[in-house]
Amino acid sequence: MAIKAIVQDLDSVEEQFRGLYAEKDGVFVLQIGGLQEHPDAKALKGALDRVRGEKRELTEKLTAVESRLTGLPDDFDGSAYETLKQAAEGKGGAPTEEQIQQIRDKVRQTLETKYNGEIQTRDERNAKLNAALQRMTIDDGLSRAMDEASIDPRHKAKLLPYLKSAGKIQVEEDGDVFKASVETDLGPVSLSRFVTDWAGSDDGKIYVAKSTGPNPPGGKGNLGGKTMKRADFNALDHKAQRETVSGGTQIVD
């Protein structure tokens, strides 16, 4: 049986799977890792690439047609076409520069109306697809970062919008992958580092899952101290940082 991504309540979910859900906006949402590898996400990325390709093709067509305005496209109006045709055959005298310019302006307006309308439609589709991919990238990245920082799963749903607003998150496209980072005074940092630092602050540590078992984290070295300098904390690997935070150590500057 497939696991549903969104359910109204957990009564319909088997007991062993309920911990995989977090409440958000009145429903329970399945917490998914590696979302960019999901077929639906790949399909959305493929659609975005197709729209971009169509936009480039239309732009190139418009540029090519405008560069040929000195010719005579089929959609010239009858009187303008006849004027230039007679001039080419030596009849009726040569058209004036003003007549030629009027014809060019009319053709340009016709072409711009036609192609710019199509380009605008694709721009709007492109913007919607891009926004959807960015939301998926940020939400998935923050969810994984909260897991790495040992945030209690019960708080993840309400912390997600808070963390999104707390940091200046930017999304960049790196080849076929979207990557999110947080801009700070010291430069961009990963979502993992951003959330881990926050989890070690006074505001964040209350949301860290409590250590359980006979050997809780924080039993050796600096991990057992009540405070740790941020420079020392930053020098630890992610696993040690998680253990430090979950063990109740406060990070100080």
Q: Are residues 59 and 108 in the same domain?
A: yes
pLDDT at 195: 92
pLDDT at 218: 43
Look at residues 91, 126, 148 and tell me which one is the last residue of a structural domain. Answer: 148
Q: Is residue 23 in a domain?
A: no
Q: Is residue 24 in a domain?
A: no
In the chain the first and final C-alpha atoms are separated, in Å, by 50
Q: Are residues 201 and 125 in the same domain?
A: no
Look at residues 148, 165, 198 and tell me which one is the last residue of a structural domain. Answer: 148
Residue 84 and residue 103 in contact, taking contact as beta carbons nearer than 8 Å:
yes
Q: Which domain holds residue 246?
A: 182-252
Question: Does the model's pTM come out above 0.85?
Answer: no
Q: Are residues 55 and 143 in the same domain?
A: yes
pLDDT at 43: 83
Residue segments in the chain with a per-residue pLDDT below the cut of 50: 72, 215-225
pLDDT at 162: 92
Q: Is residue 30 in a domain?
A: no
Q: Is residue 39 in a domain?
A: no
Q: Are residues 111 and 189 in the same domain?
A: no
Dihedral Cα 243, 246, 249, 253, nearest 10 deg: 80
Q: Are residues 196 and 132 in the same domain?
A: no
Query: Which among 196, 200, 190, 151 is positioned nearest to 169, based on CA atoms?
Result: 190
Question: In percent, how much of the chain has pLDDT > 70?
Answer: 76
Residue 17 and residue 31 in contact, taking contact as beta carbons nearer than 8 Å:
no
Domain count, the chain: 2
* CA 99 to each of CA 5, 74, 107, 113: distance values in angstroms, whole numbers, following the listed order: 64, 17, 12, 21
